[in-house]
Structure 1
Amino acid sequence: MTDLNELMSSQFVRVKVVAFVHFIFISNAMLGTWGHGAYEFYNFLFIISMFWAIHSKDSIEAVQTALVIDALSIFFDIVSIIISFDFMNGWAVAFTIINLILRPLSVILLYREFNTRGGSLQSGSVFPTNQQRSYQDIDRPTQPTPTNSQPGPNVASIF
């Protein structure tokens, strides 16, 4: 049992396990006949954000995006199951419900990954990050101007 806890506490394994498990269950859940494309849409966004989080191993935003989509998907899964229950076969219903049951666990694992990568939830912010971003004005270069040079022509007076 300690090997499993040790494995799940590893930084990059959590995201890969969450992505793989949800990929298997989402793929099987989509084998049913759905009445709308909403289930496919938000799960596609979730899988893409998980691949982004796997690829960008230092990115807080990648894990944060996957975490937000996964948390919102709990509500969306419930609504999709209620609306499309009559249209789905038993196979799709079973995998959709199992995927819904596993979502809170994956939210916890993604939150742990978010904290490990340096993200923190601060009160008053919907999408918090710990990184400070500075604005760089690319229109005006930050080269020092010589103090003894003559001023150039006034370009604004031409127009």
Structure 2
Amino acid sequence: MTDLNELMGSQFVRVKVVAFVHFFFLTCAMMGKWGHGAYEFYNFLFIIAMFWTIQCKESIEAVQTALVINVCSIFFDLVSTIVNFDYMNGWAIAFCIINMVLRPVSVALLYREFNTRGGSLQTGSVFPTNQQRSYQDIDRPTQPTPTNSQPGPNVASIF
């Protein structure tokens, strides 16, 4: 059992396991006769975000995007399964429900990866603040004034 804990504790294995498991269950769930494209759309976005997370091993934004899509997908899976229950066959229903049950586990694993990469869920990192940030005007570079020099002529009096 410690081998599994060490494996899931590895930084990049978590993301690959989450991507593979969801890819497998999503593929099986999409084999049913669905009458819409919403389920395919948001799950396609999730898989793309997972591939982005695998590719960019240091990116916090990639994990954050996959995490947000995965959290929203829990609600979307529930609504999509309820609305389209009559149009799906048993195979698609079973794998859609299994995928929906596994989403909270993958949210926990992605959140762990998010923290490992240095991300935090502070409101200032997601939403803009009202604090004034320092601004450097690059069009007009300023020259440092020497501290021990005598004041020069008043240029403002010319105008």
Q: TM-score, normalised by structure 2?
A: 0.80
Q: Check if 1:8 corresponds to 2:5.
A: no
SS state at 2:6 partner: helix
Q: Check if 1:58 corresponds to 2:58.
A: yes
User: What is aligned with 1:21?
Assistant: 21
In structure 2, distance between residues paired with 1:6 and 1:143? 53
Q: How far apart are residue 144 of structure 1 and its match? A: 7.6
User: What is aligned with 1:117?
Assistant: 117
Change (3 A) 1:126 1:13: same
User: What is aligned with 1:127?
Assistant: 126
User: What is aligned with 2:71?
Assistant: 71
After superposition, where does 1:80-91 map in structure 2 within 5 Å?
80-91=80-91
User: What is aligned with 1:38?
Assistant: 38
Change (3 A) 1:32 1:119: same
Q: How far apart are residue 121 of structure 1 and its match? A: 1.3
Deviations 1:46-74 (A, max 9, x none): 00000000000000000000000000100
Deviations 1:112-144 (A, max 9, x none): 00000000111x35737xxxxx9998x946878
In structure 2, distance between residues paired with 1:126 and 1:31? 39
Change (3 A) 1:27 1:57: same
Q: How far apart are residue 8 of structure 1 and its match? A: 0.3
In structure 1, distance between residues paired with 2:108 and 2:77? 17
Matched AA of 2:25: F
Q: TM-score, normalised by structure 1?
A: 0.80
Greater share of residues in helix = 2
Task: Specify every segment of 5 or more residues in structure 2 that has no aligned partner in the other structure, as ranges.
Answer: 128-132, 144-159
SS state at 2:87 partner: coil
In structure 1, distance between residues paired with 2:88 and 2:140? 61
Change (3 A) 1:26 1:136: farther
After superposition, where does 1:146-157 map in structure 2 within 5 Å?
none
SS state at 2:86 partner: coil
